[in-house]
Amino acid sequence: MPRAAPPAPDIAVLAVGMDDRKLALLRMAFRLHHSLRYRLLESPSDERAPDLAIVDVDSPVGWQAWETFRQRHPALPALIVAATPPERAPVPTLAKPLRVETLFPQLQAALRRAPDAARAAEALPAPAPRPEPVAAPAPPPSMPSISIARFDPRRGLLGATTRLARQPRPALLLAEGRPLLWLRPDRAQAQCLQPAEQLRELCRQDAPALHAQAAGASAGVITQPLPALLWQLAIWSSQGRLPAGIGADTPLRLRQWPNLTRLAALPDATRLSALLTKTPATLRIIIRLLRVDPEHACTFLSAAHALGLLDWNSDAPPLKVISSAPVRPDAVAPERAGLLSRLLQKVTRL
């Protein structure tokens, strides 16, 4: 029986000039990366020799941190981290805040340049730093390329029902003159007056002929909670699409857990709720971390949006490597960062 291949060795990354917060963020990012195993070296005296380094030139000593590092490690491949990347940097520069989309491709590119750096060190006794053109890195294989379709949740049956649900008075929604839905927003209750298949078909139409009118409090018999109706209509309207305005890199967060025991079941709903109530994430990162079907994720987000549970801002800046709101990253001590990392890892295995 052939022996199993030994696990690939991890890649040791030396962090230079970084405070506890940045070290905690890097440590968490490395633990959540699956395609390659990275190990963070926080001190040059570590027994393991580093494979590459990340040098923060915004530390109190500034560029002296880079000069000291290069004197000790003349041939070690490295990246520079800076809030404002210099025009003529000696090595490729990562702009702050760090992003998963650029961090790991640049690390892999630095590893590929390592043999060239070693040969240059042998040829030149005292190599002087010189500017190096930085090519835009290709996305790593683990970062999914997502094709997203979108729909307007303000239109169609979902949009009409959502507007009526925000009014305090009972209302009757008709389709081509026939009673369709009876809503009691004051009690968060509703009744479907037509078969589910007809409602589903209307959800697929962009502009069905709908008409709303006031109704008495006894116009119908309450059959289901109003949130459950909105959740179901959003599922039928979404068809694996995202609400308009939300992109693959839009930060998303749930205000609270949906009451999944009283709502129509959705694939991966528990895992998605667990992640998005703990930390904001983009759709691209959600799919990468949880390995869920993009259409399942889009449907869940559409349903959460219909209930008013989804926080998002299309004008917000891109997420950092790991964003930890509602727990502020600067409030996380280094020893606590490992706990948060393990929590996120457990979420990915739920």
Task: Report whether pLDDT(179) > 80.
Answer: yes
Task: Report whether pLDDT(156) > 50.
Answer: yes
Kindly report, residue by residue over 203-240, the tens digit of the pLDDT. Answer: 988 888 888 888 776 655 667 899 999 999 999 999 99
**Residue 169, number of CB atoms within 10 A of its CB:** 13
**Residue ranges with strand state E in 123-243:** 150-151, 171-175, 178-184, 189-192, 210-214, 224-225, 242-243
257 or 4, which is more confident: 257
| Strand partners for 15 | 54
* Cβ atoms of residues 86 and 132 within 8 Å: no
Check residue 221 and give its pLDDT: 63
Check residue 81 and give its pLDDT: 87
349 or 205, which is more confident: 205
* Cβ atoms of residues 322 and 279 within 8 Å: yes
- Residue 173's nearest CA partner among 192, 153, 145 is 192
CATH code, 11-123: 3.40.50.2300
Cα angle 91, 93, 98 (rounded to 5 degrees) comes to 150
Give the DSSP letter string of 217-228.
Answer: TTSS---EEHHH
> What is residue 327's three-state secondary structure?
coil
Check residue 266 and give its pLDDT: 94
Task: Report whether pLDDT(163) > 60.
Answer: yes
Rounded CA separation 332/343 (Å): 14
pLDDT band for position 133 (cuts 50, 70, 90): very low
Mean pLDDT over 172-201 rounds to 91
Q: Where are the domains of the chain?
A: 11-123, 144-319
